Amino acid sequence: MKFVSVRDLRSRSATVWRQLGQEHELVVTSNGRPVALLSSVDDETLEETLTALRKARAVAAVQELQRRSQASGLDRLTSEEIEAEIAAARRERRATSG
């Protein structure tokens, strides 16, 4: 995968767009760190591409939640303990909202 700096994107945008057409994906960096992805699309693939990206982000978020729950031991809670946590959170929400 090719990388392009924010500076290059600003100052050499025509070159970057040509690169995107050839590479189909570019990583945009700021101070050497990735900050965005550019992905080529067209009218026919826009919605499909957005759906796939959103689905991939959702899967990654769930995996991170699972990793955190395992690291903290929360994956071993019983159903009763989970229900008690939910009830406590609901009580707290009602107390602070009304």
Q: Architecture of 1-40 per CATH?
A: 3-Layer(aba) Sandwich (3.40)
Dihedral sign for Cα 42, 43, 44, 47, please.
positive
Residue 98: per-residue pLDDT: 67
Residue 97: per-residue pLDDT: 82
Q: Could you read off the pLDDT of 31-66 as tens digits, one per residue?
A: 999 999 999 999 999 999 999 999 999 999 999 999
pLDDT at residue 68 above 80?
A: yes
pTM listed for this prediction:
0.65
Residue 1: per-residue pLDDT: 87
Q: What is the mean pLDDT of residues 11-30?
A: 95
